[in-house]
Structure 1
């Protein structure tokens, strides 16, 4: 029997281990939605495109749905996952007043909290689902009106508690159920804060349950990162470590990094990312770690015929770069050889990215400590105000990068560091604090 290409996502062990029942597929669907929303935060769609599913290694889902459940992917995501809603959105309740105030709440969050459309869409779907359940359980959906009648307080609370029980029974995970409960509760908290209702009918409702919710990804330890670097045998593997732990990119973002994002003519060299998709990450990261590996990998790629410029091009025709699943498997393979595990399981790129954000947070703390020293000299009490008003945004970013580099310097072995003379010991701009 001829071996199929290893990089074909349809042939991975993970696919063979998938269950075909809808409960298992719901869990997988939620994971896919998380990847989709992370990759496409500004998309008006509620669920992934067929092309995205194929490019990111999830094409087998379409086969299972079609062959085992006579279901298409749009039907699956709309009916069985938190994607909810459709184009030309439908509220599944009849009470016009409640629908109107829910729309007002969502628009207010966009205006006051800068919610992206994807965030608004997700919360709308969850609130809609909870209100529909309330209507079915209580008899109608006029909950906003009822929350102004103190005599109904106990029975409203009991109704929402029953909704919480049913959500935990029906959702793929406690985490998914909690997101529905929390979205609806925040809606009622806003109604109470703005004096639109007399009492919050879901007050403390989350405390009624024990939620089996996974915490934020555990970051890799310093020792684990060092072990990964030492174990890496190729430039490609070293770039995996740098990409996820130092650049802090998403799993599927690293393979698509393009040669045009590198600025080797600057000192130090840099890689730039689209800041709209970086959340609170650095939009520009200095190549002080793994520079030799990056340059060598790019040189190797450039010698390949028909190279398209991506760091991890796909060997499959019609696909420009490896999908997120393939990149994850490459990183996990390195972790297996280095014996790097988190809670007994092989580590994944998200654990490297978690380390990146922890280091970034530490760098912010370093910046505040220096601002505190300056504030003390000037007789000011608040280091945050010194940081925000004494320093320009450009200087804050520059200092933050300096502290970030310094902390990463303590993590990576010496052979990973490119000594360009740019570090805390050489950055004269820190004299501004003295």
Structure 2
């Protein structure tokens, strides 16, 4: 039976009758339509099969969404949105919001707290949208290109509210980023013809400047390293914090770049690096790196990437995956910077602050030698009494001491 052949009196059914009707009628119809019975069906699939009326009946007579109802008939709760109350009625929008969050959780492997924060921001946007425009049919309106002008206007009204309610420009920009990424997700799946919030930041005088270049403290890096339960996770922390690499550089590290023998172990970079060709000294962590290579070489099909990925056409993970793994470690270790999970960039900043401290310690030691030579300037000793090789050796020794205190302390 389909909803197009017989009038279904949804409003007269009790919850138990709706559950029986689902099992006896709707599930078989969905299966005939090619929907996998092992997966939770989306509202649109239910509607396409001719049973869209069940969502209205659940909402109006049983105070439930379709998502809530599906849990009562044996489907698993959505992984990142379980029992979450979106505060809107549009089932298509709820389905797509939950699908997006599941993608962040499963494919991009973001930390759970990050996904929950994005969920909260998206729900706030959707609720305000419903309050000022009557219903939160975000997906349907963005699917039709002829709606673009009107939908941009509607989005502006919502952000006018957020602009008034939120305290800082940084908060407003985070909301905008999360909403924009949701629409981009819809676009990649051919479910949105445009992104109505793409240029909204140009309407406001929001500043993107960071109040300061926040970095991780040494004790926080220690906790991150201690929380790493695998060789791969340890190497992420080392690459970001002990070698000062960018996340995309970490993702694409290959054995062809590594020089581990001799007194000057280092990583070589070509023209693809942001600041041009050069080398990065491996002052600490060479043994960990060698152990990682030994482990990977056990696989006869290994491509040489330190963070390989069989699902990626490049053969290695992405910079976003490095970021996600770093933030999951931070979540496990209970590490926060200014109340937020640290980014991979903060690992690189830690390297710079640590190096500056090492150079300060070196200058303080050279001050003693300078005083014995009758000079008050340690740079005189560095320049006139030490060769370039000796200066490099001293810099590395002092930096190694700083890193040992962090990773072995």
How does the TM-score come out when normalised to structure 2? 0.51
Deviations 1:239-276 (A, max 9, x none): 11211110111122211111122223224744445699
Q: Deviations over 1:86-120 (max 9, x none)?
A: xxxxxxxxxxxxxxxxxxxxxxxxxxxxxxxxxxx
Equivalent position to 2:255, from 253, 259, 264: 259
- How far does the alpha carbon of each residue in 1:382-429 deviate from its partner, in whole angstroms, 9 at most, with x for none? 333443454444433222111100111222226xxxxxxxxxxxxxxx
Please list the CA deviations of residues 323-342 of structure 1 after superposition, one character each: whole Å capped at 9, or x if unmatched.
12111111111222222222
Q: 1:220 aligns with which of 197, 217, 220?
A: 217
Is the 1:228–1:241 contact (alpha carbons within 8 Å) kept by the matching residues of 2? yes
Partner of 2:238: 242
Equivalent residue for 1:175? 208
CA separation of 1:340 and 1:28: change in aligned 2, threshold 3 A:
closer
Larger Rg, first or second structure (1 or 2): 2
Q: Contact 1:239 / 1:293 at 8 angstroms: preserved in 2? A: yes
Q: 1:170-319 counterparts in 2 under 5 A?
A: 170-171=204-205, 173-176=206-209, 213-222=210-219, 224-267=220-263, 269-273=265-269, 277=273, 283-286=279-282, 288-289=284-285, 291-319=286-314
Instruction: Name 1:409's counterpart in structure 2.
Output: 404
2:395 matched to 1:362? no
Give the conservation status (yes or no) of the 8 Å contact 1:256–1:321. yes
Runs (5+) with no aligned partner, structure 2: 1-37, 40-78, 80-101, 126-154, 163-171
Q: Give the secondary-structure state (helix, strand or coil) at the position aligned to 1:9.
A: coil
Q: 1: distance between equivalents of 2:182 and 2:384? A: 48
**Is there any run of 5+ residues in structure 1 with no aligned partner, and where?**
33-56, 82-166, 177-212, 415-434
> Stretches of 4+ moved more than 6 A in 1?
2-7, 10-16, 28-32
SS at match of 1:408: helix
Q: Is the 8 A contact 2:305 2:316 kept in 1?
A: yes
How does 1:28-427 map onto structure 2 within 5 Å?
60=184, 63=187, 68=192, 70=194, 170-171=204-205, 173-176=206-209, 213-222=210-219, 224-267=220-263, 269-273=265-269, 277=273, 283-286=279-282, 288-289=284-285, 291-413=286-408
Could you tell me whether the CA contact under 8 Å between 2:264 and 2:281 is conserved in 1?
no
8 Å CA contact 1:341, 1:347 repeated in 2? yes
- TM-score, normalised on structure 1? 0.49
Contact 1:217 1:350 in 2 (8 A): no
Do the aligned partners of 1:328 and 1:349 also contact (CA within 8 Å) in 2?
yes
CA RMSD after TM alignment: 4.4
1:220, distance to aligned residue in structure 2 (A):
2.9
2:187–2:193 CA contact under 8 A, matched in 1: no
CA distance in 2, matches of 1:259, 1:327: 18
Count of residue pairs brought into register by the alignment = 260
**C-alpha distance in 2 between matches for 1:58 and 1:307:** 35
